[in-house]
Structure 1
Amino acid sequence: RVMGTSQLYFPMFDEVFDKYEIPYEMRYLAIVESALNPEARSRAGAVGLWQFMFTTGKMYGLEINSYVDERRDPWKSTDAAARYLKKLYERFDDWNLALAAYNSGPGNVRKAIRRSGGKKDYWSIRPFLPRETRSYVPAFIAMNYVMNHAADHNIFPVEPSYSFWEVDTIVVRQQLKFDQVTAYTGIPTEELQYLNPTYRRNIVPGDGHNHILNLPVGKVGVFIANEDSIYTYKQEEEQVFEPIREEYIYRVRSGDVLGVIAEKHGVRVSELRAWNNIRGNTIYPGQKLVIYLDASKKSSSITAPKKEVKLPVLSNDGAFKYHVVQKGDTLWDIAKIYDGVTVDQLLQLNNGVNNKRLKPGQKIKVQKIS
């Protein structure tokens, strides 16, 4: 499959790499990173053909919100990857070291160089690199061999749905849903998704920017001939457009549960699960969760939405004030009731008690009586 998909992406990579004077062999890096899947997402949160993390993607000018993720845009992410690789090569003056830095970060490569006594070739510093990076460059070299000598081993590509030359682009200036395009061009929604992985909800947003839509070459003329009708199709139903959300990374704390995190940020638990590939309710302290917040309300949405205020149910023993747990209480709920009390303080006062162990009638220390 990967060999077949390369017929769609490699000509694009070569064009971009030529612009930045990047060796063409670097195109095989995308196979190591994502198996040429623009929708690939790692457990760490890296996304796209070139597996950009959120911060690095933003650093290289990629737009990331709940409707558009340019880390999944083959053209724009490849341009960003080329610029990043060029910068790494300029820093280390060695392509193998640049690859190692792409995988583990420049800081780890500099540290390995120091530990090796100042040596500046990959094989000399390899023992001092992180475990994953020690096999990263060999995997890249092996992929070069496989892609160039596959036929010698009776390995042949599966023909892709489209090659690079069978796809063309149009500029979209208004909000457009994929089903509007399907209705007038006959292109199945699945094909539009395959050709346009950038758009996360099958919507090209009408946000004042020009956006690119990829179509089969034979359908571009059909789209242009029906463009006005496509834009006005079901227009009455398109009046309400949800605000664009921006990606926010939340680090799970001890005592957190999905319901509390969702309520705190004004989103649904089902959305948290979908955004982070979570099955069930299991999360763990230190885990990073992707949350998409309304860009216009991002700063305020970190605060929990208003709801009916609970009155505290208190007791004390002369040394501590206690909260008597009510049905449905969580540590976060309890902390909100008392001024100056945080979930971390509750955990410290109560020997790490967690939400799963709270029972109605249970007494929880909330404050030391001074």
Structure 2
Amino acid sequence: MPVRNAVRFFRLVPWIAALMQLTACASGGGATKPPSASVNALYGQLDQASQAYETALQQTRAGDTQGAQKTLDASLDQLKEAAAHCGNTPGCDPQRFFSVFDHLLRLKDGSFIGDQTPGDDTGEAEATSPAGQPGAASLPQAQRSVTLLRGHQLSELIAMNGPVKAALEMWLTQWRGNLMDAYVNYQYLRQEMWPQYQEQGLPEALLFGILAKESGGKVHAVSRSGAAGPLQFMYATGLRFGLGDQEGFDTRFDPAESARANAAYMDEQLKVFNDNLELTLAAYNGGEGRMRRLVGDDTSVSFYDPRIYGQVSQETRDYVPSVLAAAWLFLHPDSYNLRFPRVDGLTGSVTLQRAASLSELTVCLGSANDMPDGWFRTLRNLNPRLDPQQEQPIGAVLQVPKALENVYAVRCVNGPWPILASDLHNAVVPVFPDPPPASAPDPVVRYTVRHGDTLNGIVRKRSGCSSESEVARMNNLKFNHVKVGQVLKLPSCR
């Protein structure tokens, strides 16, 4: 056996042992009432699905990685089908299936099948750009590789507990549209952002999880607290990691620079928290100073320990599992009945043959290449330094998806669409000065003293929101004495 495969095999031993324990529980006794024949049949399928992984391991050791992958996929499909029937079969324990399913997904992410998950173009040649950065050819366009995080697979570090499961449901239901938008946006930003994470040896799924939760892939996002950019850096934190003003442009909005700074932050805090990913994410959201005070010297403490979980804000309690759940779905969409759209995120450029703004280009490009929401967000993301309403001159070079280069030449140079776009963009909207602000009500009212009036009577009848002593002070009265015809100032009750 090659050394690398041997290492992978022995790394799996604890997982296989745990898996066999689970399946033994599924088929063993312990219940006072024997399982029915239908339940035993489902548990038998659970055993078969588990045993298929040993078959896949043998295939891998023999060098048949493609056959091993087919065995893995078939066993997961069998497990899903059996689990679905278990929910409708009296006496069947669905949790056994969920536990094994979770373990099998983690084994699927393990290294014994290969360094990449199914769908990666493992034979794709490495290519670099002129600047020496990884180019398009080095960035697989299918399922992403599961990158090691300090010697562990990312999926090993994601606890499939209640908060993460609840976040998975949110991403698959109420936040599903946000997840899809974030995925599409990320595909067009990937060539700028992923190499920054790759350089630090950090998982791409983690980058996507943070991006999805922080901004949804909107490069110009700004929060109410002032955090800015695709990864939402506060100004002071951004300065610490090299983000700031550059010729009038805030580089927090630059996707490559933002990803570089985020990777540096994660690398720094992982060292501080002894590679505890959950504590590191909590520090990114809630502040590293606060997390260090809460954790103290015990960096092995779980984020979900009441000593930590009970002391952080609700926002941070939601943030950490939400990021991890989005990362998990990035790795396992098919296992959660989720299908991400196929996106060719390769970036190209166009040289303007007629002056146009990003807004005008959005109008003339329309929904080309089956983009129902249009291309405004993508054009803004790829050209973060440009004002989308500012017309760019002839000869200006703009970044666009590679697939739109020909569309631009056909639609946006001549013909009706650029004329329509320019007409809409240059429409004149009447401008009127703001009306003068309404005058503020007088804070006091005035009262002329009549025959028989006393200060106490005036206060009770005319100013129910004040007191005799307050009115005396306002009018410099001695001994609270008033005279007929005297004009008193009284506090307004409005």
TM-score with structure 2 setting the length: 0.37
Which has the higher Rg, Structure 1 or Structure 2? Answer: 2
TM-score with structure 1 setting the length: 0.48
